[in-house]
């Protein structure tokens, strides 16, 4: 009888503890939801107070992860304090990198490094972390494209070209493929590799005859013809772009310049 009473008491304590834990968790969920409502209504500081209350009651676990993540979002989007937001997103990632907020936190970290802090070298590392550690969450080439774009910003065109080629090889069905092929042509022109521009130009036209990038690529092809001394062909190509090219003043300047060069030759 003594043993039965002992086990009965232990069982009762276990279920009472479980009830308390579940009750606390359920009590904190409304706090997070209330914080979201406050944030939507523009009450940033009251939202932060509620989320800090959740953290006091839950220093770890899923509630803490969400609270930290939401605090980071408020600082990032509403308080324009990306540096402070970065601290909270990093804490989320360190707490549970594979949790429900790990991927989103890492994405914000990369974006803050690139656009907020303009720390391009760190941004490349953070985007690469997204590729390496969150393959299941992401597979369409976005982060690879961002890496290539950063190298382009840094004027490291050769490396940008390599990163774009990696994108085509790794994500052949990506929604970025068409733009990537356009960017490759643009970089090849920047590197004065007109022979390769011409090859890529032909392939692009066969594959994307109705592309929105076509006027830009036609302009680059015409520019190559001009630089190679094929003035009449270049002029004809530029002339055909009237009404289509994004920057008509630049197009007009090109046409006037070539006209003058042709007249001099005559």
For residue 198, what pLDDT band results from cuts at 50, 70 and 90?
very high
| CATH classification at residue 173 | 1.25.40
Q: Check whether residue 50 and residue 96 sit in a common domain.
A: yes
Instruction: Quote the tokens at residue 64.
Output: 């803490």
Q: Check whether residue 43 and residue 101 sit in a common domain.
A: yes
Say if residue 222's pLDDT is above 80. Answer: yes
Q: Check whether residue 166 and residue 235 sit in a common domain.
A: no
Q: Check whether residue 112 and residue 172 sit in a common domain.
A: no
Would you state the pLDDT for residue 266? 75
Q: Check whether residue 151 and residue 188 sit in a common domain.
A: yes
For residue 21, what pLDDT band results from cuts at 50, 70 and 90?
very low
- Taking a C-beta distance cutoff of 8 angstroms, is the pair 28, 63 a contact? yes
Region 50-74 average pLDDT:
96
Q: Check whether residue 143 and residue 113 sit in a common domain.
A: no
For residue 139, what pLDDT band results from cuts at 50, 70 and 90?
low
Say if residue 2's pLDDT is above 80. Answer: no
Q: With respect to residue 248, please indicate whether it lies within any of the assigned structural domains.
A: yes
Q: What is the pLDDT of residues 79-121, one digit of tens each?
A: 999 999 999 999 999 999 999 999 999 999 999 999 999 999 9
Would you state the pLDDT for residue 20? 37
- Taking a C-beta distance cutoff of 8 angstroms, is the pair 97, 106 a contact? yes
Q: Check whether residue 255 and residue 233 sit in a common domain.
A: yes
Supply the range of the domain harboring residue 168. 139-204
Q: With respect to residue 127, please indicate whether it lies within any of the assigned structural domains.
A: no
Would you state the pLDDT for residue 265? 84
Q: Check whether residue 103 and residue 163 sit in a common domain.
A: no
For residue 4, what pLDDT band results from cuts at 50, 70 and 90?
very low
pTM score, whole prediction: 0.84
């Amino acid at each position: 009888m003594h043993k039965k009473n002992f086990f009965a008491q232990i069982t009762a304590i276990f279920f009472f503890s479980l009830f308390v834990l579940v009750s606390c968790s359920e009590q904190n969920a409304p706090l997070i939801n209330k914080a979201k409502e406050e944030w939507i209504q523009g009450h940033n500081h009251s939202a932060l107070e509620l989320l800090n209350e959740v953290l006091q009651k839950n220093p770890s676990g899923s509630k803490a992860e969400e609270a930290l993540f939401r605090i980071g979002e408020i600082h990032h989007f509403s308080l324009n304090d990306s540096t402070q937001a970065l601290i909270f997103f990093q804490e989320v990632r360190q707490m549970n990198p594979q949790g429900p907020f790990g991927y989103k936190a890492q994405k914000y970290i990369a974006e803050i490094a690139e656009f907020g802090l303009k720390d391009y070298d760190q941004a490349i590392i953070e985007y690469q972390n997204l590729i390496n550690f969150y393959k299941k969450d992401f597979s369409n080439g976005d982060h690879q494209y961002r890496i290539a774009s950063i190298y382009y910003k840094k004027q490291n065109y050769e490396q940008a070209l390599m990163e774009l080629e990696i994108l085509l090889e790794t994500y052949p069905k990506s929604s970025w493929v068409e733009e990537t092929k356009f960017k490759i042509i643009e970089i090849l022109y920047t590197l004065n590799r007109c022979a390769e521009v011409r090859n890529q130009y032909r392939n692009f036209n066969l594959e994307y005859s109705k592309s929105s990038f076509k006027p830009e690529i036609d302009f680059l092809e015409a520019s190559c013809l001009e630089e190679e001394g094929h003035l009449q062909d270049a002029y004809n190509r530029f002339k055909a772009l009237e009404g289509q090219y994004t920057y008509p003043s630049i197009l007009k300047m090109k046409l006037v310049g070539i006209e003058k060069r042709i007249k001099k030759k005559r």
